[in-house]
Amino acid sequence: MKNSVGSEKLALFGGPKIIQSEFKHYNSIGVEEVEVAKNIIESGKLSQFLGEWHNDFYGG
C-alpha cells in the first residue's frame, strides 16, 4: 500500500496545504479578566508588599 501523503512535498517546501481555511483568532482574555484588571489598576494598589510582618504576609 502506497502512502500518498508521504510521497508529496511538505507545504513548507511548496507542497499542498492540508488545511485550506484560516485559523480563527482566539482571545483567552474575556470580559471578566478585563474587569478584574481594571479594578486593580483603578484601586491604585498594585501590590500589598510592605516589607514588614502583618496578617496578610505569608513569607517570601
User: In Å, how far are 33, 43, 60 from 55, measured between CA atoms?
Assistant: 27, 20, 14
Average pLDDT, the chain: 82
Q: What is the pLDDT of residue 1?
A: 44
Q: What is the pLDDT of residue 45?
A: 81
Q: What is the pLDDT of residue 47?
A: 76
Question: Where is mean pLDDT largest: 1-5, 14-18, 46-50, 56-60?
Answer: 14-18
Residue range 9-16: average pLDDT? 92
Q: Is the pLDDT score of 7 beyond 70?
A: no
